[in-house]
Amino acid sequence: MHSPVRKNFFAGIAVILLGLCFACDDEDDIINAPEQKKTQTLLMYMPWSGNLTSYFLDNINDMGKAIQTGILKNERVLVFLATSSNRAKMFELVYNEKGDTCIRKPLKNYENHPCTTKEGITSLLEDVKGFAPANRYSMTIGGHGMGWIYSNKSRSYPLSADTKRTEPLFHWEYTEGPLTRYFGGTSSDTQTDISTLAEGISESGLHMEYILFDDCYMSCVEVAYELRHVTDHLIASTSEIMAKGMPYEEIGTHLVGEIDYEAICECFHTFYSNYSPPCGTIAVTRTDELDSLASIMKEINTRFTFNGLQADSLQHLDGYTPCIFYDYGDYVTKLCQDTTILNRFNDQLNRTVIHHRHTPYYYSAISGRKEKIIRFSGITCSDPSTHRLTQQKSSTSWYKATH
C-alpha cells in the first residue's frame, strides 16, 4: 500500500496524535530566561493544515533524531506547531543535561494566533527573535502547497458550491491513493498567500538564509520572485510532495551550521528513490539571480509569443487538466526562437537554480498515477497555462516584471 502524500491542511486527528512519543521529549515549564545571541536559528513553521499533523509530528521526531547525532554547536532549532485551528505552541529542540538526548523545551502557547495574516507572521517571527536571537535565520514551512495560486482563488471553488464539478479540483481533496501536501490548510481561514508571507517576514526585520517549503508545487518562479527580498535561497519541490515530507533525519545535518544545499538535494533524492511510490523532485533557487532572469524573460516575451497548440508538448509537472505548473526551462526553450538569447537565458537559469534532482517519475494524487519526467529545470511557471485557477497570473510580481 502506498504511503500518503502531503495535502494542504491539518485534520482533527491532530490533538489525539499529539500524545504520541517524540524523539524529543517534553519538558513542562515555559522558559522565560534571557537568551544569548547564537550563530543561526532555524524555525520549523507548521501552521494548521487539517490532515497533516501526524506527519508533522514525524517530521519533528526525525529532526530530533538528526539533532541527537550532535549537529548543534552554536545553532538553535525552534518549532511552531499548530495543534488545532486556533491553538499552537512554540518549543525548542535541545540536548538534555547529559547532551545525549533531544528534548523539547516549551517556549510559548498560542490561542487564536492569526497565522495567515501579515501581522500574525510578523509577531511570530518577533517571538523567534526574542527567544533565539541569532546572526542568521532560516525557516522550513510545512503544509499543503499550491504554488503561487492566490488563496482567494482556491476559495472560489469549494466542493459543494460548484454544481458543474463532478470530481475534486485540488490535490488535497483526493482521499484515494497516496496522500500529498499547500501553504496552509484545506479551509479558507488557514491559507496564506505568498505575498503575505513576504510582507510578514519583511515587517519583522528578519532576512532568511533559506526558506524550505515542505509543501506541494512551491518551486515555481512566481513564488521565488515574490520572496526574493526576504530570503537568499528557496528549497522546494516542483510537484506534489508525499505526505511524509522532507526526510529531516537525513537532511537535518545540512540544514544547520554550514548549509550544504547540494547535499540536501542528494539526501532527498536518495530517500525518495527508495520510497513507495519512488517519486520526488527538489531544487534550490538563488533569489539574488531572479532579477537578471526576469530581465531576459521580459526581452523574450517582447519578441516571441507562445503557440498554445504546443502546450501539450511541454513538460507537465502536475496532474491538473489543463496543466498549471509547466517546467520553466522547457517552456522557454519552445517559446524563444533566437539561439543567442536562449543561450543567455539558459546560462542565467543555471545561475538561478543552482541544484536540482528528480526521480524518473513524479506522483500526482489528482491523476492517481506516476508521470514521466523527461525535461527538468528544477522550477516551474504558469505562463502558458489556461487553467481557470491561473486567471490571476497577470497580477503576480513575476508576470508584471516579465511582460
* Per-run averaged pLDDT (10 residues), the chain, 403 residues: 42 31 50 73 93 94 96 97 94 90 96 92 97 98 90 46 45 46 52 91 98 96 98 98 96 98 98 97 98 98 96 96 97 98 98 98 92 98 95 95 98
- The residues pairing with 42 across neighbouring beta strands, listed in sequence order, are 77, 138
CA angle, residues 101, 250, 46, in degrees to nearest 5: 75
CA 342 – CA 353 distance, rounded (Å) = 16
DSSP state of 188: G
| Residue range 14-287, CATH number | 3.40.50.11970
CB 255 within 8 A of CB 247: no
Radius of gyration of the chain (CA): 20
C-alpha cell at 224: 521565488
The predicted pLDDT at position 4 comes to 52
The label of the residue with cell 513575476 reads: 398
CB 116 within 8 A of CB 192: yes
In angstroms, what CA-CA distances link 309 with 173, 237, 330, 386?
Answer: 30, 27, 15, 12
In angstroms, what CA-CA distances link 21 with 3, 26, 31, 62, 303?
Answer: 21, 9, 21, 12, 59
CB 125 within 8 A of CB 200: yes
The predicted pLDDT at position 152 comes to 63
Which region, left, alpha or beta, applies to residue 103 given φ > 0 means left and ψ of -120 to 50 means alpha? beta
State the DSSP H helix or E strand holding residue 79, giving kind and residue range, or none if neither: strand 75-82
Q: Where are the domains of the chain?
A: 14-287, 291-402
The predicted pLDDT at position 30 comes to 52
Handedness of CA 138, 269, 216, 89 (dihedral sign): negative
Strand runs (DSSP E) across 259-307, as ranges? 281-286
DSSP assignment of 115-155 equals TTSHHHHHHHHHHHHHHS-EEEEEEEEES---TT--HHHHT
Phi/psi for 140 (5° steps) reads -110, 145
CB 79 within 8 A of CB 39: no
Give the residue among 351, 393, 360, 316 at the shortest CA–CA distance from 148: 393
pLDDT tens string 226-261 = 999 999 999 999 999 999 999 999 999 999 999 999
- CB-based contacts of 74, cutoff 8 Å, min separation 6: 38, 39, 40
The label of the residue with cell 536518495 reads: 270
